Structure 1
Amino acid sequence: MFIELVEEDDGDRWRREFAGVPEEAREVRRFLRSLLAECAFLDDVLLGVDELAVNTIRHTRSGRPGGRFVVEVRWRQRDPEEKEGERVVVWVRDEGGPHEPAIPVGDDEFAEGGRGLLTLACTAETWGWFGDASGRTVCAVFAEPGCAV
């Protein structure tokens, strides 16, 4: 395990690697909570990123024995002299898998699965992904309500 602070002029950025086991979803939440304790919308960040961590463990090779995934966080706090508000960007990098990240389309609103990315879409200002079957990164931007991203 490593935690790395990446120095930037425009906010703080951290990166940490996690084992691809279910217990690590809790550690992802602790990691974010320790970094973003003063974030005005921390609950949204925790809920959205928890869904990403769980999806990574369940649906990619990162969840196989010996698998790993990386969470990178960038926090730009509000600058009182600018119109732009507080923003948190989170990247979750996995070891790839057979399926692309997508919100399921269907009529069964009570289905047991498939709500992770829908939850992310409801908590994040925007989200997307890039990569292929050998490794993907899902990125989500969380922003202060009522402020420009």
Structure 2
Amino acid sequence: MLLAMPQPASSLPEMYWQRSFPGRPDQAGQVRSFLRVLLPAHPGLDDVLLAVAELVVNAIKHSRSGEPGGIFRVAIVLDSDGIAVSVTDQGGPGRPTGRAPGGLAESGRGLALVTALSARWSWSGTDQSRTVTVCFSAGGQ
């Protein structure tokens, strides 16, 4: 007689990585390298790299992570449904929005780009710490 193996109460991610980075502009390239090593075969890797680079720039530019001594954290979850990448900063004023500015504004379109590249994105947090998560399906976007 074969006994059935108990199933876990919740499904766990297949893979999870996390790393902290100094809050400096040159770290956007380090984050992209980190992702390239971890996700080399993902069909939507270019979209993931571009979207996450935008989140990193936002963390450095719009939060205390970009101040001297600041840091931000990148966490990646890879499972059969796809990829979720979270960037957690040290908080600051304002709230992330996906609305692009009108006219000829030179900035403010980053999260609109993230919206276009990803399956979805969301954020949570306070003025002390914010996490923005972007999700991509297993087949890309």
**Structure 2 length as normaliser, TM-score?**
0.86
Query: Where do 1:1-149 residues align within 5 Å?
Result: 9-77=12-80, 86-108=81-103, 110-145=104-139
Secondary structure of 2:115's counterpart equals helix
Report the alpha carbon displacement of residue 145 of structure 1 after superposing the two structures with TM: 4.7
- Cα distance change, pair 98–10 in 1 and its aligned pair in 2 (3 A): closer
Q: Which structure: larger Rg?
A: 2
- Cα distance change, pair 146–36 in 1 and its aligned pair in 2 (3 A): closer
- Cα distance change, pair 17–107 in 1 and its aligned pair in 2 (3 A): same
Distance 1:63 1:41 in 2: 28
Is residue 43–residue 139 contact of structure 2 (8 Å, CA) maintained in 1? Answer: no
User: Percent identity, aligned pairs only?
Assistant: 42
CA-based RMSD: 1.8
Secondary structure of 1:57's counterpart equals helix
- Cα distance change, pair 113–35 in 1 and its aligned pair in 2 (3 A): same
Extract unaligned runs of 5+ from structure 1.
1-7, 78-85
Give the ranges of 4+ consecutive aligned residues of structure 1 lying more than 4 Å apart after TM superposition.
none
**Once the two structures are superposed, what CA deviation does each residue of 1:103-127 show, in whole Å capped at 9, x if it has no partner?**
345431x321001111110111000
Distance 1:26 1:35 in 2: 14
* Amino acid of the structure 2 residue aligned with 1:90: V
* Amino acid of the structure 2 residue aligned with 1:49: V
Secondary structure of 2:114's counterpart equals helix
